[in-house]
Structures are given as C-alpha cells and as structure tokens.
Structure 1
C-alpha cells in the first residue's frame, strides 16, 4: 500500500484546520503519515495522532524547525521520502513555500492546489483563475501535491490512535535565519476558517469608511472581515484581509460582498462559498452572476440599515 506524508500546519501549540483538509485528500492516495516539525511541539504531535485515519506521526522536535524555515524543513521532508510515495501539503503560505523546494530537491513536478483526486496520480486543479478545471496526471516516481482546503471536507480531529515516532533532525542548514514576524491580531475569526465573512471593496472610498461600514456589520454577525484586492491596494486594510486568487481562498457558509464588483481575481477566491450575498448599486456588476442573494442599492444607505436591524 502506498504511503503519503502530510505536512502538519501548526504554531508549535495547535494544529491549523488546513491540515485536516490535506489529510482528507491524502487518505485517497494511501496510508497517511503526518510530519510534525517544530520546537517544543510535543502537544501538536499528540493532537495529530488523534486525527482520524492517520497511521503514524513523525515528530521532529528541534529549534531549527521553530518557524518552518523552508531551507531547514525541506531536507527533513526529503529524508523521509524514501519510505513514502507522496508528499502532501495544504496550500497555505507555508505549504506553498515548502512544497516547491521539496519538489526541486526530488527533481519532480509539483501538482498545485488540487481540487480532487481522480486516480493514484491523477488530479483536478483550477486554471485561468478557476474558470477552467484541468485534469492532470503525474508521471514522476514521487508525488508532491498541495491541496486547496476549500475543496475537501476536513478530517475528524479526534478518534484516531496513530503512533508517534521521533525522527532525527537534519538540523539547521545555515542558509537562512528567522528575524521577526509582525502578526496581525484580531478578536474576529480567522479569515480562512470563518463561517461568515463580510468583505468590502474599493467603493468604500477609504480606510475610515471601510472600518465604519464593514466592521460593525461583521461584529453583529460574528464574522471575519475580508477585502477585494482593489481595497487592499488602495490601502484601506492590510494585505492579510485580501480574498482572491492572489489573496486567501475561502469557502464560508455565508459570504457578504459589499461594494465589490466581482472581478475574476476576486471570484476565484470566494465563489465556492455556500451562500453569497452581494450589495452593489451597479446592477450589471459581475458579482450578481454568482450571488444567491443580490441587493441593488447604495451601500452607504443599505449597510447601516442592515447593521441596525441585526
């Protein structure tokens, strides 16, 4: 039976939801093994062992892996690939950073952001900003795959009883060092894990107006806040709010698009949402073509009224 190694996305304390979707995809390729690489991350390995469907957890606990520097992590993954047929990573910032380097070291072609597993080496993946779905088949001996989390159901986080195996660290490659990270903190749900998202576009004019219109509505709904690329580029909100092909891919239960016209780049990041609500005064805006509920109205009147009635 083939064996698949899955990169566990974590913060050295808890597992990120993106890992659970990657496990679901990997389970269709064969026996699932997880790799937990970090510093003082035994608690993460314990949680990983409890994920349903996992056969083994490889634990590499070393300060060199504390911040998932790809120059240190990739050699570790490659050292495990002799006993694994595929490497799978969630298509997160870390996953997109690690997988290409692993593929290069293995001298194989990466299959990026798969949407489904069609066979042992056959997958579907989006192209042309999601307007076309390609069926691709790898001819390489080893697979390196990233998984679009919104396309796969999350594996159960409990119920498993995998064994944990400590593995030898490959150490610090000496090619890079972690300097610092500025992490945006918010009491709202994480954008990629939120069940409800309220997003604003360029029509909101400026950062103060964006905050005044979008934040109160999001707070009433218990929602995360997103934005179009145009709003981010205009400086209304930071980059980590961006939803779209070059931002974050989301698929919440409810996605509220306010003052967003619906450019292809944005639609590629949110069109898998279960229910899409659009508010825009332009009745010809492309967003209405995919919206389940559309309100043709001036957002500066409609949003405060909606917020007031919640």
Structure 2
C-alpha cells in the first residue's frame, strides 16, 4: 500500500498543513510519497525530502504549475494516480480546490475533512458543525481524502532523507489562467498555525475598540488575532480574521475569546484548542460551555487589567 500526499507549498518551502496531512497518512500505514507540483520548486522538494516518514518525493516542475492552478495539478496527479491506494491533500483552500477534481476524474467518492483514521478504509469526519462525528468506510480502489489539520499532530519537518524523483508535468490544460494574487502581510503569526490566538466578537462594539483592546493583549502573548463571524460581518476586521465553520479552523495551545458569545458556527472552528479562556459579561453565554477558564466581567476593564498583570 502506497500513499500519495499532495504538498501545499510556495515553491520554496512546505506549508505547515502538509505536515499534518503526512501524519494522517502515517496512520493509514504504508509507504508515503509526497508530490511537489510547482515551478522552480527544487527547494520545496528538498524540504519535503527532510520530513519524517516520507519515503519518496516526486517533483513535477513546469511553468504551468507555478501558480497552483487546480486544472494543471489535477492532470499531473492523474498521470500517476493508479500507483496509489490513497491520495491525500490538506483541507485548506489549496487542497479543497484540487482534490474534488481528482476524485471526479477517478470516479470515486471524496472523503472530506477527516479528523481520525480508524483503518485503511475507515475514517472519521465532523458533521453538523462538529456536533457529531461520522464514521465513513470506503470501498473505492483509490481513496481521495482531504485532511483537517487540527485533527492530527504534525510530523517532524526534519529527520527524513527521502529520494527526490523528477516526473513529467501534464501539459497546460488551457481552461484557466492565473490573473493575480493579493497576499495579506502580517507582523503576527499566521492564524491557522499560531500557538496562541486572541479572538474578538461583537461585544467589542467597533473596529476601533477591537484594535484598542485586543492588540495590547496579543502583543504581550505573541498571539495571532482572530474574530467571530459577527465581528467580521459588522466590519470590525477583514474576512481573513474569521474563525469558525465558515472561516478558519484552528486548534492552538491557547485560545482567548473576548466578547464572543459562542455561536455553534464559531465553536466548530476553535473547540479543539488545547486551552480555551473566555471573557464575557453574559454569564449564560454558550462560550463558557467549552471554556477551560471563564471570566464574567466587562471586557473593557478586564482585558486592560490582564495586560497590566502580564507586565
């Protein structure tokens, strides 16, 4: 049994979600091959070769793969798909863009967003905003799977010594083209990989209050900043701050929820955090049901006091 993991990368380094995906592959068992599809991506392939548990890295290097267009990566994967029992990709925007095309062309049912591996053909995935877990068994000859990164601890990025083998990239499909990409540059850790996250909700009242109250706390903790959907919809912060079922799924070591009531869709995105601290003036707020530590009080007083205590 041989497993193919489609690496998410920037042509120079491997993205963190790939390490979680390889961890899921290791639980299935068998040899693990990693596909790096890009342009001038030798550095990314070399980084993938160092990942613990990887036995081979396949490098498809061509100009038409430079920007990660799903139509071209899909074609490259299909050329080698018959060699694998499982094809895995991270359940990120990148993986979710590619995996369904592969599954459709192979005429198999995709298994999405898995959080546990029971056996080589049986997997667990959350449904109903994470309020229930479905156990899915597949009899497909090739299983196409996306992996929720928060469900698996990442493997070590160093320690491996896999062989890098170059393979042919598929020709440009010619049905899509890359136009532009706008990247958000942050001085803080990336939300999905941060170990500490400070999130704000509608209780903060305005975007000005959000920054005034939460930035000092995030600075003290070296944390990423997040938000509830209500805060995003109210225009306090941009969409890429949103944590929840319709935002980003996170599982940091510490999650501080400030002025967040705890709607189901928000809890689905952060309830796997190792330690959850909730600050809210409503003692009946649902967020306290999942919090390890809860503080009932006025956030405009409590948070500044907390910042002072942190020195």
Query: TM-score, structure 1 length as denominator?
Result: 0.98
Structure 1 counterpart of 2:290: 290
State the 1:117 CA deviation: 0.8
Structure 2 counterpart of 1:21: 20
Structure 1 counterpart of 2:121: 121
When the two structures are aligned, how many residues end up with a matched partner? 309
State the 1:235 CA deviation: 1.1
3-state DSSP class of the match of 2:24?
Answer: helix
3-state DSSP class of the match of 2:261?
Answer: coil
| 1:172 has 2:175 as partner | no
| In structure 2, distance between residues paired with 1:272 and 1:200 | 18
| In structure 2, distance between residues paired with 1:249 and 1:118 | 22
Structure 1 counterpart of 2:272: 272
Structure 2 residues without counterparts, runs of 5 or longer:
none
Matches within 5 A, 1:115-264: 115-264=115-264
3-state DSSP class of the match of 1:89?
Answer: strand
State the 1:27 CA deviation: 1.5
| In structure 1, distance between residues paired with 2:215 and 2:138 | 45
| In structure 1, distance between residues paired with 2:10 and 2:128 | 33
Structure 1 counterpart of 2:11: 12
State the 1:309 CA deviation: 2.3
Structure 2 counterpart of 1:36: 36
State the 1:260 CA deviation: 0.3
| In structure 2, distance between residues paired with 1:28 and 1:284 | 40
State the 1:143 CA deviation: 0.3
| In structure 2, distance between residues paired with 1:215 and 1:73 | 40
Structure 1 counterpart of 2:82: 82
| In structure 2, distance between residues paired with 1:224 and 1:98 | 28
Encode CA deviations 1:132-181: one digit per residue, 9 max, x unaligned: 01111012111000111111111111111111110001021111111111
State the 1:236 CA deviation: 0.9
| In structure 2, distance between residues paired with 1:271 and 1:63 | 41
| In structure 1, distance between residues paired with 2:139 and 2:27 | 18
Encode CA deviations 1:62-95: one digit per residue, 9 max, x unaligned: 1111111101111111111011111100111101
| In structure 2, distance between residues paired with 1:275 and 1:27 | 27
State the 1:303 CA deviation: 1.1
3-state DSSP class of the match of 2:55?
Answer: strand
Structure 2 counterpart of 1:3: 2
Q: Is the 8 A contact 1:62 1:171 kept in 2?
A: no
| In structure 2, distance between residues paired with 1:56 and 1:180 | 32
| In structure 2, distance between residues paired with 1:36 and 1:194 | 24
3-state DSSP class of the match of 2:165?
Answer: strand
